[in-house]
Amino acid sequence: MRKNENNENLSEVPINREYKDVLFRFILTDKKVLLKLYNALNETDYDDESQLDINTLEDVIYLGYKNDLSFIIGNTMNLYEAQSTINPNMPLRGLRYMTLLYNAYIELTDDREYGSKLIKLPYPQCVVFYHGVVSENEIKILHLSDAYQEVKHAKYAPCLEFTATVININYGMNTELLAKCRELEEYSIFISKIRLNIKRKMKLKEAINLAINECINQDILRDILIKNRAEILDMMMTTFDEEKYIKVQRKEAHEEGVSEGIEIGIEIGEKRADAKWEPVVSAKDAEIAKMEAEIALLKEQLGTKD
């Protein structure tokens, strides 16, 4: 059972789940930053922050934690989320959350769903920013339809689909995107610093504190880290899975070692085979070959081919 520095069982320490990635929300609740990120993702050039309407449902939990952020701009309904794990049920949960957003949106209009007038809805987009320790592609699309049970007699395509676009923001991934939104890149750097410190055998609290100090000194998320240091430290202490990180690192190292060992083994085997291989000939075949050689020699001496 894991224990903290005070020798308390971590399973018995109450964890405030609302702190889950509160840093992500700290960053993106700044409309300037959120607008910059939206432009970077969609290759747009919006510059008027008043056009951006944050409509996050504060009393609703999206993927189990309150680290989501939703907003409307340019006729799009956007749901952004930061996650350290990729859950195959993200599309389902995203659909449920997006439905609530649409319900709230329609309530603010005079339109009626049973009327003859088509209700115009914002274009939905669900983006998950992934920063976990498990290696993932730069972009991964999760589909709600992947969860549908197979029906052989279905005549038409499924009437409902929802996609969650997972974008890997671990440092070194999607560099072009991160370069367009410096704050998101700094977030990625901060997370990477914590992991690097843990890799150097530091205790979790020490690793986080050092990462915070380094980032402040290097002007990385400086204002946020200075103003909200205690809260961010608390959040990271209760959500950063040190054991999982180390376990993944060991697994990847083992897999690389096994792979390298197999390749070396094959190479050694091939060399040994080349050096020691000799044709296997039976005693009978050897005797026949010897007789044929003697007959050929006799023919050559007699000057005949018959």
pLDDT tens-place string over residues 184-221? 999 999 999 998 998 898 998 999 999 999 999 999 99
The answer, yes or no, to whether residue 6 has pLDDT greater than 50, is: no
Residue where the block lists tokens 């308390």:
8
* pLDDT of the residue at 132: 87
Q: Tell me: pLDDT of 82 over 60.
A: yes
The predicted model scores a pTM of 0.70
Average pLDDT for the chain = 79
Q: Residue ranges of the alpha helices (H) in 109-241?
A: 175-180, 182-199, 204-217, 222-227, 229-239
At residue 144 the predicted structure's pLDDT band, cuts being 50, 70 and 90, is: very high
Q: Is 216 helix (H, G, I), strand (E, B) or coil?
A: helix
CA distance 128 to 84: 10
* 263 has pLDDT over 70: no
Percentage of the residues of the chain whose pLDDT score is greater than 90: 42
The residues, any chain, with a CB within 8 Å of residue 225's CB and separated by 6 or more, are: 190, 212, 215, 216, 232
Question: For residues 143 and 161, what is the distance between their CA atoms, to the nearest angstrom?
Answer: 7
| pLDDT of 166 above 70 | yes
Helices (H) and strands (E) in the chain, counts: 10, 6
Query: What band does 39 get if pLDDT is binned at 50, 70 and 90?
Result: very high
CB atoms inside a 10 Å sphere around CB 98 = 19
- β 76-83/68-73 pair status: antiparallel
